[in-house]
Amino acid sequence: CPAPSALRTANGTRICAQLYADDSPYYDQCCAGPVLVAEPDADVPFMPRGWAARISSLVVGTRCELTVWSRASKKGKSRRFSA
């Protein structure tokens, strides 16, 4: 998985979090497969089509916090992740 401080786009713009679809019991293979990117200050109440219940690994950038909910529209239980 990338280091939290290394989350950047190809042009150098900061990324707050990267969420990955594939997982592995081996740490060096955890962050694989399709990637969903969370931009700084993004507010997304619904997962994009095809991503619900699919995320298996995530990395949150430095100075960022990712909050996720168990149900759509920011309902249900929530959990916060940081670097």
Look at residue 59 and give its three-state secondary structure: strand
What residues does each domain of the chain span?
17-82
- Measured from the Cβ of residue 37, the count of other Cβ atoms closer than 10 Å reads 12
State in Å, rounded, how far the first CA of the chain is from the last one.
Answer: 12
**DSSP 8-state assignment for residue 72:** T
Whole-angstrom distance, CA of residue 48 vs CA of residue 32: 18
What pLDDT sits at residue 30?
Answer: 83
The arithmetic mean of pLDDT across residues 51-75, rounded, is: 90
Encode pLDDT of 22-40 as tens digits: 877 777 778 889 999 999 9
Whole-angstrom distance, CA of residue 37 vs CA of residue 59: 10
